[in-house]
Amino acid sequence: MDAPKILIGIGGGIAAYKVCEVVSTLAKSGAAVRVVLTDGAQQFVTPLTFATLARHAAYTDADFWQPSHGRPLHIELGEWADVMLIAPLTANTLGKLAYGLADNLLTNTVLASTCPVLLAPAMNTDMWEQPSVQRNWRLVQEDSRFHTAGPGAGRLACDRLGAGRMAEPPDLVAQLESLRHTQGQRDLAGKQVLINTGGTREFLDPVRFIGNPSTGKMGLALAQAAQHRGATVTLVHGPMSADLLKLDAGDRRIAVTSAAEMHQVMLQELPTADWILLSAAVADVQPATTYPHKLPKADLPAALPLVPAPDIAADLGQRKQPSQRLIGFAAQTGDIVTPAVEKLERKRLDAIVANPIDLPDSGFGSDHNQAVFLDKTGRKRAIAPCSKLLMAHRLYDFVQSIE
């Protein structure tokens, strides 16, 4: 695919500094980034800062009002962009968007474009909760072009605790990637998606366990992609890092530790799910005996007796209804397809993702992945290396075509 063309409009708020990370991340990923600053934004971050981070000149109203030597700047920018972000979205710019007003480069560019626009508001809690601001917020959401990120709640720059905090940069970057793929289509609206992710831990004693290197990144990407496409997502996850758990992924989260706990929760949640995606790295075995106290080193068994852990995929496959879609994952080395096909059939899955864990920048812990999708009808689709979020979207495209 061609490099994404992303236009970022910066509003006049202290949260403008956080958009520096968004611009830098996008530019480093290979995206073509253009930045438009309002007059207010320049009071917080300079055009030179964004020009340096974007590897391209940043635009201001001074550029807008200069004589044109070609097509008008707002027309050029509006037609150029694949997707647009406005962050921080101020109450002033929100009001203009709600009523189709245009008196600066940014708002004129919005009206001269047709691409999806992601809005990330940020303001003081009392400002955000004003009836007029909330009315404008509802109005912009009636326009299918506009998509929303946040605001969240927390400590604001004014030391107020409450709503109005701008969405975090990693979440904005993820939503922009999703918008480019979907072009704003919310084709999973109304669906309940149940996802498990992360590794499980099977404890021998309070400090020793059988585990694996799974970080849960693939499941988080699946949750983000489903949310961005309109689904309601329940995410059941094993132990994960605090940084990953900060990501906006999943409308409801249920934390578990062991395979038995994950098995119980997944069975409980199954009846209300439309799609179930099993990306967790669940233990196959567990210690036959779990000790309530730490075993002295001298007392550790020379051979550790093991018993099978619950088979979540097989039990869900036995219980799922014809209208439900059950998608498994098979992390493999060497030949990834043959064992995946066997697992697909044995566990009564509708589709499976076979992904290699022995190739560079793929599998456990990586931000990227590659795979072969297979379904119960024999269809097979190879997915070249890409971000895990893009792989999630391609998987949803694949699952929607299952008959």
Prior bond to 360 cis, omega within 30?
no
CB 112 within 8 A of CB 79: yes
Question: Is 294 part of any known ligand binding site?
Answer: yes
Nearest to 278 by CA among 381, 200, 352, 369: 352
R_g over Cα of the chain: 24
Identify the residue whose tokens are 């009071």. 43
Query: Catalytic amino acids?
Result: 158
What is d(CA 347, CA 349) in angstroms, rounded to the nearest whole number?
6
Half-sphere exposure of 136 (CA within 13 A, CB side): 21
Which two three-digit tokens encode residue 262? 């994950």
For 366, residues 6+ apart whose C-beta sits below 8 A from its C-beta are 217, 388
Reduce the DSSP state of residue 341 to 3 states and report it.
helix
**Residue 175 identity (one-letter amino acid):** Q
What is d(CA 82, CA 40) in angstroms, rounded to the nearest whole number?
25
Question: Is 243 part of any known ligand binding site?
Answer: no
What is d(CA 41, CA 342) in angstroms, rounded to the nearest whole number?
57
- The values of phi and psi at residue 26, to 5°, are -65, -45
What is d(CA 354, CA 373) in angstroms, rounded to the nearest whole number?
6
Identify the residue whose tokens are 């550029």. 63
Question: Is 284 part of any known ligand binding site?
Answer: yes
Reduce the DSSP state of residue 33 to 3 states and report it.
strand
Question: Is 297 part of any known ligand binding site?
Answer: no
Specify binding-site residues for CTP. 284, 294, 329, 343, 347
Specify binding-site residues. 284, 294, 329, 343, 347
